[in-house]
């Protein structure tokens, strides 16, 4: 599909829960620097794929590779350490903490000091925390949340919470970012802003992005390549134009809602 | 150990196990529905025993009537506790209700200390329950046969309610999905009250029989049987009535037999249950009969 | 966050600590033994509440095992400060086994050893048990505390069994207790206000999101649990030296309940709340003793009512949980800013 080497590859990933096969033979390859989408009707297994890639589920079969390195079966925190960050379908912020704290928590994975250092006032640790705070502030400024840094995150409006969740994910310094329905609950204008935002962070942070989305405008507008999942099976892939015209996709998914929209 | 001795121990284990099992059912039903460890449950067990004691000594009621009244009164106590201390916390974080339960437990125990005094009280036992029966070399009390029989009958009655009646259906449905059940027009609070009532009645029955078997009662008598019965409920698989009974039996068997075979361990008897608990939680947190509760990502 | 008044706050805090020390010095010379004892208990209860708050309030692990950690701290430290002669005297049933019979350490080292022993046990317990969540964790830690108690009752050659230890040297004076209390507070404030503290709160708020953010939640829960156990051990060690007599019965669930009560009353997730809570609850508990003492009003004589104190106390806990779940402080911390702004507004509002 493009010359860039793949950042993320899955090979024949299959997962069964009891007797039920939720995802089978899931093969994707995401080239570096691209924005790609995973779509499909409700219950098709999209979030399950995210959970497999990020280590929350262990696939029954198959392998996941990040820049050629197998990461299958690593626990979620290791996957994040390797450079994959994610957001959640129903936003999961640390709601009792401030906006700044949320982002600093994201930065913890790259922090070198140990837990016993702050009470002993080790200078290197104090310095690192100060730098971390500054980076976090800079990150917040760049996503337009700088003014809200001191607010408790639960007090933010919905759209700002979405952006904060992305900012928090960016603070982990990922190579590969997974967005689970980032436009859910947004009005057309907000989703337009979101599309620009996603494109911008790709270049600013040198990212590769995979997103799950129901809003076809967003998917078609931002993704360069799309995979379609139905009942746990990939039924189509291609660029937005190919997907739009693929009869299988229209039958499985676009048939219900997006044909009118598109 | 001789066979006679072994059989003797087996009867003891059967008695102890059915008493644990009866308490465990209340824990398992409440946990199955509300995900709450009702710490005060062991104290209902104690109250049941005291109600009979006062029924017989203070009001001079015939023993049988005192027992029935005590069970009813304990059931009422259970529902009142739910109404006052747990129901306002249904939407609070789960641990809040647990802390409330711990508070209620200490409250009842110490109120018991105030009202009943800390002096252990001897319990009246009808003669026909304690005339030793000789079966060959085995000497047992009629109690040892009657307790498991009553326990069995009570569990059968409960299973009938849970599986064959409409309120029972509502109970099972609440334990699967409380919100949907509410939307179906079921009065969830009433069914929960009923659950507390039934569980408390069984705990009281257990407390009354416990007092017959170990005939001294005091305000803190429910603490350890309570803990252990909860462990029995976990062992059997929390949420399962049959499991609670099986768990209780197993725990009774382990406690009695371990001490019987290794008398040196008798000092550690109260630790067995807790060790067992930790082992189960680590090996098979769903218990023997339980269903898996998955955490959703 | 922004600290334009950092220097002012530092000055005020130093002044407050100075004032506290002056007060303690004055109290030590002028108050009667009973009042000093209450002051000592406030310090020790603060340490215990702070440590439970770290585990439960900040990391969200519902632990009911505090009495067990206190027991370990108390026994280890007491065995180190009891003179060998005294040990020989109190171990009537079975003699104390070597090396405990001869080991001796200065008080500070002994208390520290108690803390480390408790932390070690915390680590051993944490690794299997912290895989559990919520109330299961509570009941499992409660179980561990009970197991420790049963083991201590039976391990006569080391613990002197049910008889316990008597005549423990009374080193834990007001300076030691408040010294340890301030040290604990300092350590935990630094810890909680660091990014590591943020991480603990993240684990409490949303463990799944925390894992997705690259946080090894299990590891840091174990760390937090062990730090909490450490300070609980310190508290137990000081408590033993303060009351000079310990036995396994003392470390029952009731002790954990008292600490839990302080933490809940003070505010889960507030360090200063735990300090305020322990002052309020300790004084209240002492004051409530009157209901258990006989009272003479004129010619009337009322017998004391044993148990009444705990009735009132547990009722109070239920009322707090029902009507003011956030306790005195909620998740807020005391800050000079809020105090000053309250004073400057003092007259008008409220």
Tell me the per-residue pLDDT of B86-122, one tens digit each, with 9 for 90 and over: 999 998 888 889 999 999 999 999 999 999 988 898 8
Rounded Cα distance between A50 and A86, Å, is 8
Predicted interface score ipTM higher than 0.95: no
Rounded Cα distance between C341 and C220, Å, is 37
Shortest Cα distance, chain B CAs vs residue C23, angstroms: 35
Pairing of strands A20-31, A6-17: antiparallel
Checking if the pLDDT of C154 tops 50, the result is yes
**pLDDT confidence tier of residue B205, bands split at 50, 70 and 90:** very high
Q: How many Cβ atoms sit within 10 Å of the Cβ of residue C62?
A: 21
Taking the CA of residue C156 as centre, how many other CA atoms within 13 Å lie in the half-sphere pointing to its CB?
10
The mean of the pLDDT values for chain C is 90
Rounded Cα distance between B207 and B250, Å, is 19
Checking if the pLDDT of B71 tops 80, the result is yes
pLDDT of residue A254: 53
Shortest Cα distance, chain A CAs vs residue B233, angstroms: 26
Q: How many Cβ atoms sit within 10 Å of the Cβ of residue B214?
A: 15
Within 8 A of B96 by CB-CB distance, chain C residues are 321, 325
pLDDT of residue B294: 46
pLDDT of residue C272: 94
Quick: pLDDT tens for C117-146.
Answer: 999 999 999 988 888 777 888 889 999 999
Shortest Cα distance, chain B CAs vs residue C192, angstroms: 22
Residues in chain A predicted with pLDDT less than 70, given as ranges, are 1-3, 253-262
pLDDT of residue C350: 37
Q: Does C208 touch chain B (CB under 8 A)?
A: yes
Shortest Cα distance, chain B CAs vs residue A200, angstroms: 28
User: Smallest Cα–Cα separation from C262: which of C317, C301, C340, C218?
Assistant: C317
The residues in B 278-297 lying below 8 A from A, measured between CB atoms, are 297
Within 8 A of A106 by CB-CB distance, chain C residues are 213-214
Checking if the pLDDT of B125 tops 50, the result is yes
CB atoms A105 and C2 under 8 Å: no
pLDDT of residue B290: 63
Say yes or no: domain A1-83+174-262 is CATH 1.20.140.10. no
Rounded Cα distance between A168 and A188, Å, is 24
Provide the sign of the torsion angle of the four alpha carbons C261, C267, C270, C272, taken in this order: negative
pLDDT of residue C349: 42
**pLDDT confidence tier of residue B5, bands split at 50, 70 and 90:** confident
Quick: pLDDT tens for C248-273.
Answer: 999 999 999 999 999 999 999 999 99
Interface test with A, best of C183, C186, C209 (most A CBs within 10 A): C209
Query: What is chain A's length?
Result: 262
Residues contacting residue B69 through CB under 8 Å, at least 6 positions apart: B51, B55, B61
Quick: pLDDT tens for B219-236.
Answer: 999 999 999 999 999 999
pLDDT of residue C136: 85
Rounded Cα distance between B161 and B164, Å, is 6
CB atoms C62 and B95 under 8 Å: yes
Q: Contact partners of A by the rule of 3+ C-beta pairs under 8 A?
A: B, C
Checking if the pLDDT of C73 tops 70, the result is yes
Q: Does C251 touch chain B (CB under 8 A)?
A: no
Read off the DSSP letter of residue C103.
Answer: -
Within 8 A of C206 by CB-CB distance, chain A residues are 92-95
Tell me which of C206 and A256 has the higher pLDDT: C206
**pLDDT confidence tier of residue C1, bands split at 50, 70 and 90:** very low
CB atoms C138 and B98 under 8 Å: yes
Rounded Cα distance between C184 and C48, Å, is 10
Quick: pLDDT tens for B151-185.
Answer: 999 999 999 999 999 999 999 998 888 888 888 88
Domain edges within chain A: 1-83+174-262, 95-172
The mean of the pLDDT values for chain B is 90
Percent of chain C with pLDDT over 70: 97
| Nearest residue in C to A132, CA atom | C195
CB atoms C138 and B95 under 8 Å: yes
Shortest Cα distance, chain B CAs vs residue A100, angstroms: 24
CB atoms C321 and B271 under 8 Å: no
């Amino acid at each position: 599909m493009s010359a860039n080497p793949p950042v993320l590859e899955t090979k024949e990933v299959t997962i069964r829960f009891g007797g039920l096969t939720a995802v089978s033979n899931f093969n994707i390859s995401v080239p570096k620097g691209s924005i790609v989408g995973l779509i499909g009707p409700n219950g098709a297994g999209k979030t399950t794929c995210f959970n497999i890639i990020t280590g929350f589920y262990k696939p029954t079969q198959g392998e996941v590779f990040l820049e050629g390195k197998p990461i299958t079966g690593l626990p979620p925190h290791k996957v994040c350490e390797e450079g994959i960050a994610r957001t959640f379908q129903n936003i999961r912020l640390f709601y009792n903490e401030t906006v700044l704290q949320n982002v600093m928590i994201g930065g913890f994975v790259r922090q070198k000091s140990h837990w016993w250092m702050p009470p002993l006032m080790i200078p290197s640790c104090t310095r690192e925390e100060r730098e971390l705070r500054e980076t976090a502030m800079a990150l917040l400024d760049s996503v337009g949340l700088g003014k809200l840094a001191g607010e408790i995150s639960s007090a933010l409006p919905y759209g700002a919470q979405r952006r904060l969740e992305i900012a928090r994910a960016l603070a982990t310094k990922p190579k590969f970012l997974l967005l689970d329905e980032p436009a859910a609950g947004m009005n057309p204008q907000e989703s337009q802003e979101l599309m620009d935002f996603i494109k911008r962070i790709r270049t600013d942070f040198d990212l590769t992005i995979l997103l799950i989305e129901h809003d076809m405008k967003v998917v078609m507008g931002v993704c360069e390549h799309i995979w379609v999942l139905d009942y746990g099976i990939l039924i189509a892939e291609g660029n937005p134009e190919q997907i739009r015209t693929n009869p299988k996709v229209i039958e499985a998914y676009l048939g219900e809602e997006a044909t009118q929209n598109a | 150990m001789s066979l006679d001795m072994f059989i003797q121990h087996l009867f003891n284990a059967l008695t102890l196990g059915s008493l644990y099992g009866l308490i465990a059912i209340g824990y398992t039903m409440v946990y199955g529905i509300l995900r709450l460890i009702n710490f005060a449950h062991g104290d209902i067990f104690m109250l049941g025993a005291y109600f009979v004691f006062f029924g017989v000594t203070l009001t001079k009621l015939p023993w049988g009537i005192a027992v029935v009244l005590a069970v009813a009164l304990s059931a009422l106590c259970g529902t009142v506790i739910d109404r006052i201390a747990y129901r306002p916390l249904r939407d609070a974080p789960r641990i809040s209700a647990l802390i409330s339960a711990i508070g209620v437990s200490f409250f009842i125990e110490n109120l018991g200390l105030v009202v009943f005094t800390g002096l252990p009280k001897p319990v009246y036992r009808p003669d026909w329950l304690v005339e030793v029966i000789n079966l060959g070399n085995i000497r047992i009390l009629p109690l040892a046969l009657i307790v498991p029989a009553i326990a069995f009958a009570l569990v059968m009655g409960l299973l009938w309610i849970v599986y064959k009646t409409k309120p029972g259906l509502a109970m099972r449905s609440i334990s699967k999905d409380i919100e949907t059940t509410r939307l179906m027009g079921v009065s969830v609070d009433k069914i929960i009250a009923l659950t507390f009532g039934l569980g408390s009645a069984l705990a009281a029955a257990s407390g009354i029989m416990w007092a017959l078997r170990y005939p001294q009662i005091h305000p803190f008598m429910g603490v350890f049987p309570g803990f252990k019965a909860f462990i029995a409920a976990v062992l059997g698989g929390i949420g399962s009535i049959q499991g609670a009974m099986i768990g209780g039996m197993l725990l009774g068997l382990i406690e009695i037999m371990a001490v019987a075979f290794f008398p040196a361990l008798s000092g550690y008897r109260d630790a067995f249950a807790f060790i067992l608990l930790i082992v189960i939680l680590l090996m098979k947190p769903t218990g023997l009969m339980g269903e898996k509760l998955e955490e959703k990502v | 966050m922004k600290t334009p008044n950092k220097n002012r706050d530092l000055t005020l805090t130093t002044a407050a600590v100075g004032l506290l020390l002056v007060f303690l010095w004055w109290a030590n010379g002028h108050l009667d033994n009973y009042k000093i004892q209450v002051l000592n208990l406030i310090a020790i209860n603060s340490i215990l509440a702070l440590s439970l708050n770290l585990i439960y309030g900040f990391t969200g692990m519902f632990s009911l095992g505090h009495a067990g950690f206190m027991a370990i701290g108390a026994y280890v430290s007491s065995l180190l400060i009891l003179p060998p002669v005294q040990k020989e005297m109190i171990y009537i049933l079975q003699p104390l086994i070597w090396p405990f019979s001869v080991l001796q350490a200065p008080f500070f080292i002994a208390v520290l050893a108690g803390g480390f022993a408790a932390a070690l046990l915390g680590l051993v317990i944490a690794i299997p048990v912290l895989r559990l969540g919520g109330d299961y964790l509570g009941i499992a830690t409660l179980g561990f505390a009970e197991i420790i108690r049963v083991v201590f009752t039976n391990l006569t050659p080391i613990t002197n069994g049910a008889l316990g230890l008597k005549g423990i040297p009374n080193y834990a004076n007001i300076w030691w207790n408040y010294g340890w209390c301030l040290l604990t507070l300092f350590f935990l404030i630094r810890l909680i206000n660091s990014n590591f503290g943020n991480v603990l709160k993240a684990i409490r708020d949303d463990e799944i999101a925390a894992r997705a953010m690259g946080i090894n939640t299990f590891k840091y829960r174990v760390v937090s649990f062990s730090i909490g156990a450490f300070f609980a051990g310190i508290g137990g060690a000081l408590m033993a030296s303060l009351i000079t007599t310990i036995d396994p019965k003392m470390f029952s669930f009731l002790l954990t309940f008292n600490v839990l009560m302080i933490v809940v009353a003070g505010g889960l997730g507030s360090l200063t709340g735990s300090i305020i809570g322990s002052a309020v609850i300790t004084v209240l508990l002492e004051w409530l003793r009157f209901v258990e003492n006989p009272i003479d009003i004129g010619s009337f004589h009322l017998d004391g009512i044993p148990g009444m104190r705990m009735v009132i106390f547990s009722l109070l806990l239920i009322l707090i949980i029902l009507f003011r779940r956030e306790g005195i402080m909620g998740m807020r911390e005391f800050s000079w800013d809020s105090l000053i702004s309250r004073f400057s507004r003092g007259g008008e509002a409220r």
